[in-house]
Every structure is written in structure tokens, then in C-alpha cells.
Amino acid sequence: MSGSSGRRKRKIRWSKLYSYGCFRPPHTLDSDPGQQLLGQPGFSRVVFCNEPQLHKAKPYKYPKNYVSTTKYNIVTFLPKALFEQFRRVANLYFLLAAVLSLNSFAPFNPISLIAPLVFVVGVSMIKEAVEDWHRFLQDLNVNSRTVRAHVGGGLFVEKTWQGLCVGDVVKVNKNEYFPSDLLLLSSSFEDGICYVETMNLDGETNLKVKRSSEATLDLANDQAFSDFKATIRCEDPNPHLYTFVGNLELNSVTHPLCPATLLLRDSKLRNTDYIYGVVVFSGPDTKAVRNSTRSPSKRSRIERKMDLVIYLLFSMLLLISLITSTGFAVLLKSQMVKWWYLSLQDDDPLFKPDPLFKPSAPEVSGFLQFVRALILYGYLIPISLYVSIEVVKVLQAMLINKDIELYDEVTCKSVQTRTSNLNEELGQVEMILTDKTGTLTCNQMEFRKCSIAGASYGGNINKIDCAASKRMNVEVESYRFSMDEFETQSQSFEMFDFSVADVSTEKAALAGQKHMQNSSADCSRISSAEGEPAIKGFNFRDDRLMNRKWVYRSNLFDVTMFFRVMALCHTGIPVDGDQAHKLKYEAESPEEVSFLIAAQEFGFQFFQRSQSVMYLKEFDPSSGKVVERKYKLLNLLEFCSARKRMSVIVSNEDGEIFLLCKGADNIIFDRLADNGRSYQQATTLHLSDYAEDGFRTLAFAYRKLDAVEYEKWNSIFTEAKTTIGPEREEVLIEASEMIEKDLILLGVAAVEDKLQKGVPECIDKLAQAGMKIWLLTGDKKETAINIGFSCSLLRQDMKQFHLILGKESAASNRLKMKKDILNQLEGFQKVKSEERNKDAPLALIVDGKVLEIALRSDVKDQFLPLAVDCASVICCRVSPKQKALITRLVKEHTGKTTLAIGDGANDVGMIQEADIGVGISGMEGMQAVMASDISLPQFRFLGRLLIVHGHWCYKRISKMILYFVYKNIAFGLTLFYYEVYTSFSGEVLYDDWYMALFNVILTSLPVISLGVLEQDVSSEVCLKFPALYQQGQKNIYFTWSRIIGWILNGIVASLVIFLANICTLSTFNKDGSFAEKAFAKDGNVADITHLGAMTYTCIIWTVNCQISLIITHFTWIQHLFIWGSIIIWYIFLFIYGALPPDISKRGFRVLAEALGPAPIYWLVTLLVVVVALLPYFIHIAIQRSFYPLDDHVIQEMKYWRKDIGNNNLIWEREQNNSVMMTQIGFSARVDARIRIMKENLNQKGQLIYRSVTSSPIFRSLTSSPI
């Protein structure tokens, strides 16, 4: 194992080059105020390095490195799962009913109530256990990752993450994740430097530079750890990602530690071969885990509303139970005491008294009858509803998981519904909060365009302009001029005011007015953003620069200097490439890598660097050959968020000294010399075009330095670098300002933070579906805005509100900062109210520092209403805690269903806070996936998940619940009517087996098929008309009006069924009493057995035919379940009647001998079904004819082919209506672009018309006689 310790250390000592960041002179213990806190509460942790055995006993026993995201464990599963089940009011009721059924006066056998309750609760608990088991397996996958850990004697062996303990020394290799929070001891660089990617924690794409303490730099190989012992005293575990206070006691010397020495779990080692570190915080103590919360138990809005429906049904149950008990008590007191047959029991000593019949205490009998009625009418409360929904949701989740359209062939991953409780919630999402890096973007930068010496290169027509031009070709006719003599190509070309790359593209655009049918050729000029470029990181197409043709440009020196800045102004390192003569690069930021690749393609290959020299292979225009040149690196002024620029000072082989600078355009423009602004105006126009395309831009400039001036400045800068104290950073910045001035602008380079495949199209569909999308990122504001344009969350005509703190406010106290924010919010509201166009799109861009104050209780009431009213909100520089807080406040303030989607550990908080949490199972860690309710391979699948499956699941569950309410009311109320009919006798109309089979067998399968297979429209139609999704957002299928309507429908059906059967089998005497009619040919009358079987048959037919009217998408499965359930009833009735009388009791041969031969039995069934379903049929006929919903219109278009004769005009009209109110997304940007083009066309047309009509020739023609 120790053989690997011989890996050669990299000789570059970055600490000698860097000026800022963590590379400050070693500070003393006295200079750091945090050191004074060690040993006090909150700063009491002690870690014994390389001695993990000391942490196995108190007081230094710490948690192991095992991390769990499960809801339950073996101990907590039973109590927590039971609590979850009995949070449901229906289950509470049936628990009470099961307990009461143990009494002697219960109408049913106790088993008939206890068994269904145990089954329902048991199935739900098993489902919870299975879903939590899958979470456990994913946890096991992460916890089973391996890392090399020191076991003694300089030997490192593979060890699982969960097996690590505090104090273990580990070795992490390049591109591996850190298994826990580690103290960096040494690295493959001599000065203990390493590069860390924290994108999984804070969303930032730039690499962070970490540095070990100088005391541990000699721990250079495996063997060096054989005798290593040290003690760390530091802060206790906390969620703060950017703070760390501690010291290292080594060889009786104490060395201070800072955040730059701590490597956090879930961050990744980059551009460094290996590092050694010691575990400081493990498992639940790590900062990443501390930023997450336990998996919450989430319930959908429909399920919570279903509890209210149960309360309503329970109120009905109480009402009819009260009527039953009151009626019984009144009859018992007034009439039953006179009925002679009820007094026979007094004379029979063997007769057991009925506890309900106590004439002497009618109040007691009435109360007992009330309790009995609560159990008898319990069928009003659908106990099987919950278990049916659980089964349906599991089957829905299986269908979603098996959807081939949600499978990513690149990663070989598909969607995984980790929690099926929220299926219907997917159809009601109104707010989406998304991460940027790894969620919308691939974290891959591509060089796309550049502006050099005032000329733009690589700029083909973008997709927005191409789509707008094709639509303008159809609509622009009404905007053209009617004067034939002025309809020339030059005038028609005015509508194509594009930024094109070369003359051929201009000609193609010009020719497009007459030959627009050749649109595929035009669109082929769009840069291949969607396809994979031939060279990774370089997606540039322009013949004027490629293949060394830049040597023919007029401003050759400026072009050459532009490429030199690109090749020299960086911190990159060349590594071996896959192709001959092609290198790969590693750098702090992906932008630098793309610049180095681009420079290589243009003929300026950076191929080697030493401590102070950088080597290029340049194409020499004069000789036409590639020559090697070396540049001495004199100073490096690295990039930081405050400076927003980076500079290097180099001297070439001729001794000339140049300052090469790149940075934000506004920063560079402020530092230009008077003679360095030649290209500023043209460059500014190009910057605007690049920004609209969503590209990141950096301006390039240079300055030639005099040797004397440089030496003078260098002495000042060197003195600033050696300054010790808090003012060091400020002194360094002032020194940099002295030299970074009087620059000469060369141009700008544009790189694209490449979006994942299909992201703009997905956002467009989501926007058309009525969803608002908020972007929450840890990246800087400029980057976030670029991505906003790139994925069409922003558009050029959108008014942007930038809520930021000025320099003065940022440096002041919180009271002044709060006042500044409130003033800005008040100003934004004023601008918004004064806006003439109330539908004008607004965007809000917020900084993380502002959010700290804006989310406080006294400011959020002004901030949140403005943010929610904006079409797009972008929050940048936000921490994981802020993401979670924003999600919670948006959810609480709006009351709308929120969905959060992310891919990193920094997104876990918002994923768990949102109503629905979606994790991206991409290339990064699995923390987001393990905390999510649903995982997706890529963001683009979110569109189909919500618009198709969410829409279907919402309507399926809504219809299913309403149907359950209907069928249980239709069935349960017949028991009540029979009680009233029999003077509250307490006799049960139906056989016990009939009661047991109703919900379990005879009506269960059709409703499950409804919940699993129902489709109002196909998936293609859902995606073509995303506005259909808004039915779920408005909850139009589960409103109280619909709920009450279905309850009334059930009441009407129960009345029709019961009265039809009673009237058929009975007649009225002259005194108004009922008398039985002949039922069979021999004159026999029907008894309770016949009445019960006939009524039950009518119920089975009615509820199963009713569901056939609800279903809009039939398959053979629905037909089998619906008509099969009816057939099963007859089969059961026949077999049950064939059993011996001691088993079948009063059902003995009831079908074969009594009901079957009686024609009235079949006629009543037919009549009842028709009459009972007539109200619903009339309702849907009226609704579809006069008040159709969107899905009704589309169904008619599809099934009645209404669009065929109208050239698809109806389809196009409905599609246009779908995007009419959309303010973000690709379609909205195209519409905005068309409006701008039409306005420009109209203005230019008027200008031409005025110039022509005012010309002397026109005047002479119009004034001369004909």
C-alpha cells in the first residue's frame, strides 16, 4: 500500500504566486479572536489525530460516520407509523367502532370491523416500510463507499465511509468526495495546496483553494504517518459552512487553524493528485448533514382536504344516528310499550333481555341505539378509501417509474418515485424553486463567441431570432407597405435586424424573405448549442478566425494580443490530452479551461509552466510556423469577488513588460486609457447581444509597462504582501489599483454555461402550464442573470428590479441596511404601480446578503408580495439555510403548492421544506436524491412528470375520492332508510357477507382501475396543451361544490334504489299502512332476504355503471373489472345460496329459487339503474354542451374530428391560447422579439415613407396632371 506514496509532488508553489484569498502570512494565536473561545461552551471539541481508539469511550466519544436519511428505524417504526396512520380521521373513527363492536348490542360481528381496520392500517404501514427500505438502501450505497484509511505503521487500507471514526487519517485521491469533514494535513503540492469543488454544497462552480498548516507539510507520504500524533481543539459541530475555529497541537507547539484548512463532506478534490486529512467531524456532526433536516412526513393537499370530507361524512353519520336514536326513544315511550308481541319476553324465563328495549328507561335505550347506529351506518365512512388510495398510488408510482420517456440513455437512469404519497400533488404545482448548477446547467463551459477589435465573431442567428423570423413570415404581411414600387429587398430586409457572423449569413437572411420555405437552412445557422461540439469546451464556428485565418485580419496586433491574454492570464495547469498535440487543462474555474482550449484552437497553446515561467506554442503570422515562446511571470493578481478581475504581469523574450487583464466589462471599461477606448462602442453593442443569448462575458485588455514604472510599483506591492494584520487585504487592493489602469481594450470573450439538454423547452412548457419559477443559486449575480437569459427565465423587454445593498449600506449596521432595503422595495412598488401595462413582465434579482434581512418578520411582508407578483425571481449568493427559509416562506405566504428541485447537498433543505422535493440523480453526490420525494435523471424530465403524470394523477385521485364518497353514501343510506321504514327496529337489511364484500370485492377493482389507468387526454395532447395543467392548480375537480354535488348524487341514488324496491314489493292499504305484494307466481310475498338481495343488486349495478360514465379512457382492464364485478355478484349469490342453510342462513337458494325466476327482479334492476343515473347524465350533457371545460373541448376535437375540416385551426387556436398569458419561457421570448421586430419595422417603414413623400421627385409626380 505504501507504494503509492512515491508519487511525485508537484513543484509549483502556488503560495508564492497568489496575493489574496487564504494565502496570508501565518497569523498568530493572539491575532485571531476566535482562538480565545476555545475550551468554552460551543468550542470544546478535542480530536486525537491518528488515535481513533481514544474516541470510543466518553468523554471523547463522537458519532461514527454513518449517515441516515430514513424516516424510521427498528425502534421508532411502530409508534411513528401508527401515529401517521391514526392522524387520518377515518382510521380513528374505525378504531372507535372496532372497540364499540365488542359490546353485545353491536349490529355486526366484531371481526367484521376489526379485520378491515387491521388490513387497511397494515397495508399502509407496509407501504411506508417498503419506501423507507429503499431510502435505507440508498443510504447504504453512500455509506459503503470506500476511502484509504491509516491503520498503523504507515499502512493505508480501503475502509468504508461508515467505518470511519473521528481521528482517522485518510488519503483522498483526485476526483473523489471527502467522506467527512477533514483537516487538511498535506497534498500533492509541496506547499500543501489543494483545489476543492464545493458545487455540491454551495452551488458555486469556481474551485476553492485550500491550504494545510505549514506544521504538517512534511507529512509527504504514507510512511510519514507511522509515528504521527497530534491534538486538535476546535469548535463544536455546527451548520456554518464558511467558519472554523481551532488549533493544532503538534510536538508541544500550538498552530492556529482557519476555514481554509477544513475540507467539507460532499465536496470533491479537483486538480490535485491526492491529499491527506484527519477526520474532525463525522456523520451527523458534519456541516453538510447539519445543514439538512430529518425527512419530514408530507401529505398532499387533496389528502388533507379529504380529512375535511370525512368530517362532513361523519357529521352526516352523527345526524342520522341521532335521528335513529331519537326516533327509537320516542317510539319506545309512546307506541312500542303497546305492541303485544314485544311483551312476550316478559313471560318467557329463558328469553335473554334485549339491552336496547327498556321501556322504563327510554333515554338509556335511545343512547344505546345511538351507539349501535354509529356502528351500523359506518359504511358512510369509506374505510377502504385509504387503502385503495395507497394501492393506487403505489401502482401510479410504478407506471411513472416505467415510463420510457423519463429514461435517460446517457446516464442509464430513470425517474424514481421515492414517496408515492404525493402523486396527485404533482398536478397542482404553482411554484418551482430550482437550483442552478447541476440542475439547469451541466457545469461545462463552452467558448461560443468573441468580439475582437470591434468585430463580432461566431455570432450566428440565435434560436429566438430564427423562430421569430419564421412566424414573422406568416404574420408580417399586414405590416408591409402597399406601394409596389417600394417593396424591394432592401426594405423587406429591415425586419431581419440580426447580428450575423459573416456576409454569407447576411445574404441568407436577405434571401429568406422570398425563400422562407427553406427555413431549415436558416435554422442550421444557429450555433450547435444542443449538439455535442467536436472539441469539449469549444463550440465556436467562424471561418474568419478558424484555421489560422485570423492572420488576414486588419488589426492583427490586437487579435494576437487578445489570444495572448487568453493563453496567459489564468491559473491553469496543462495535462495530457486524448489527441496528439492537443492538451487538456485544469484550472480554478471552468471559464479558464474553456479560454485555454479556445486559445489552443486559435494557435496559442499553453503547454508548460514552472514557478515563474509560462510557455506558449504560438503561430507566427510572419513565418507561418508554430514557435515556442516563454513568458516570465512577474506577478499574479488573482480574481476575487470584490475585484471582479484578474491580471498577470509578464515579460516576453524581448524584455517587454505587459500587464494582461481580464474581468467584468464595467470594471475593465472604468480602467481604460483615453486612447484605449477605440472599440468600446462596438464592444458594448456586442455585449448586449451576448447577454441576451445568456452568455458569460469577460473583457480583455492590456497595458505595456515601462521597466522603471514596474520596478517602482513592484516594491510597493511586495511591501503590501508582507503586511500583517486586518488591513493587509485593503493595502493589496490599493496597490493593485495603482497598476491596473490606463488599459487598452482588446475585446470580450463569451462563454456559455451549458444548459442541460431540453432545459429551455421544459421551462417553456412549465411556464405555459401556469407555473412560476424561482432560481436559487449560490453563484454570483452576473452568472445567475446570464443563466436566466439562457434558459428564458429573463427576456430583454423585462423590467428588472435589483434588490442589492450599496457599498455604504453593506458596511453599515443592520438598521441602516434594513432601511435601505425597505426604501428599495417601496421604490419598486411605486414603479410597478405606475407601469401602464399591468401585464408587463417583471423580474426580481436578489442578493444573499439582502435576503438575510428581507426574510425577517418585519421586512418579509413587503418583500414577499413583490416577489410573488414578479414573473421571475432570481436569488443569488444564497446559503443552504436561506434556500430552505425562502421555500418555507413562499409556501406559507402564497398557500400554493411548491416544488423544489436540486442536485446537491446544499439543496437538501429546500427539497425537504417544499411540498414536493425533487432530486437530480446526476454526476454529483446523492444527498439531494436521498432527501427527495422523487428523483429525476435531468431537469428536462420535470415537464413530462408534472404536465402529464401530475395532471393524470390529480384527476385520477380526485375522481376516485368523489366516487368513493358517492358509492358509500348510496350504499350506507339504504340502511338508514330501512331503519326508518321498520320503525327503528334495529334489523340489518343486508346479510353480513354482503356488507363485507361491498368494498373489498364488488366495487374495489373498478375504482382502482379508475385511479391507475384513467386519462382524460393522451400524453401527447397534455404536452401540446400545457394549459390543461391549470385545472389542477385551480383544483376544479375537487372543489366543495363538486364534493357536495357527488354527495347529493349519492343521496338521490340511494333514495331511488330503496324507494323503487319498496314500492315494487309493497302497496298502501286504505289506512295508509304498507302491505306486501305478491312476489312470485304462487302468491308468496317478499321478506327481508328478498328485499335485501334486490336492493343490493340494484346498488351493485348502479355504482358500477356510474363509474363507467366517469371513465373517459377505456381499456380492456376497465371493462373486465366493471362488468366482471357485476358478474361476480351473481356468481357469489348463486354459490352462497347453494351452501347448507346453517352457513348461508337466510340467503339459502335465494337466487336460484326466488329472485332468478321472478321477472320483477330483473325489471326493477334495469329501471333503477336508468333512473338513478339520469341526474348525472343530464348534468354532464348540460355541462359539455353549454359550459365545457378545456379537456371537454379537446376531447371533442379528438374524438369527433372537429379540426379536420378547418385546417387544424381549432388546434392552433387552443395552442395559442395556451401560451397567450405566458411571461417567461422560449415562447414568451419569441413573442417579445416579434413585437420588437414589428415595432422596428413599422418605425423604419414610416421613416422611409416620410423621406419618399418629402422628396422633390415624389412631389413633382403627385402635383403634375394626369
Written as nine digits, the cell of 149 is 484509511
Cβ-proximal residues to 1198 (8 Å cutoff; 6+ apart), any chain: 1017, 1021
DSSP 268: E
- DSSP H helices in 342-442: 362-376, 383-401
DSSP H or E segment with residue 210: strand 208-211
Cβ-proximal residues to 823 (8 Å cutoff; 6+ apart), any chain: none
Cβ-proximal residues to 680 (8 Å cutoff; 6+ apart), any chain: 669, 672, 745
Q: Report the alpha-carbon distance of residue 180 to residue 263 in Å, rounded.
A: 8
Written as nine digits, the cell of 37 is 473561545
DSSP per-residue letters across 1182-1229: HHHHHS--HHHHHHHHHHS-TTGGGTTHHHHHHHHHHHTT--SSHHHH
**Based on C-alpha coordinates, what's the Rg of the chain?**
39
Q: Are strands 146-152 and 169-173 parallel, antiparallel or unpaired?
A: antiparallel
Residue-level length of the chain: 1266
Q: Report the alpha-carbon distance of residue 827 to residue 837 in Å, rounded.
A: 18
Phi then psi dihedrals of residue 557, to 5 deg: -60, -45
Q: Report the alpha-carbon distance of residue 651 to residue 649 in Å, rounded.
A: 7
Is the CB of residue 38 less than 8 Å from the CB of residue 255? Answer: no
Is the CB of residue 768 less than 8 Å from the CB of residue 1231? Answer: no
Please name which of 432, 300, 467, 204 lies closest in space to residue 939, comparing C-alpha atoms.
432
CA 479 to each of CA 484, 1237, 1249: distance values in angstroms, whole numbers, following the listed order: 14, 11, 13
CA 254 to each of CA 27, 31, 54, 84, 169: distance values in angstroms, whole numbers, following the listed order: 12, 14, 21, 53, 20
Residue 844, Ramachandran bin (φ over 0: left; ψ between -120 and 50: alpha; else beta)? beta
Q: Are strands 842-847 and 799-803 parallel, antiparallel or unpaired?
A: parallel
DSSP per-residue letters across 805-866: --HHHHTS-HHHHHHHHHHHHHHHHHHHHH-S-TT--EEEEEEHHHHHHHTSTTTHHHHHHH
Written as nine digits, the cell of 624 is 507561418
Is the CB of residue 496 less than 8 Å from the CB of residue 510? Answer: yes
Type of residue numbered 1196: E
DSSP H or E segment with residue 325: helix 301-334
Q: Which residues pair with 173 in a beta bridge?
A: 274
Q: Report the alpha-carbon distance of residue 183 to residue 198 in Å, rounded.
A: 16
Cβ-proximal residues to 736 (8 Å cutoff; 6+ apart), any chain: 19, 637, 643, 647, 717
Is the omega angle on the peptide bond into residue 355 within 30 degrees of 0, that is, cis?
no
Is the CB of residue 220 less than 8 Å from the CB of residue 7? Answer: no
220 exposed, middle or buried (CB, 10 Å; 0-12, 13-18, 19+)?
A: middle
Written as nine digits, the cell of 1156 is 332468478
Q: Report the alpha-carbon distance of residue 296 to residue 424 in Å, rounded.
A: 18
The yes-or-no answer on residue 435 being catalytic is yes
The residue annotated as part of the active site, out of 139, 435, 820, 847, is 435
Could you list the active site residues?
435
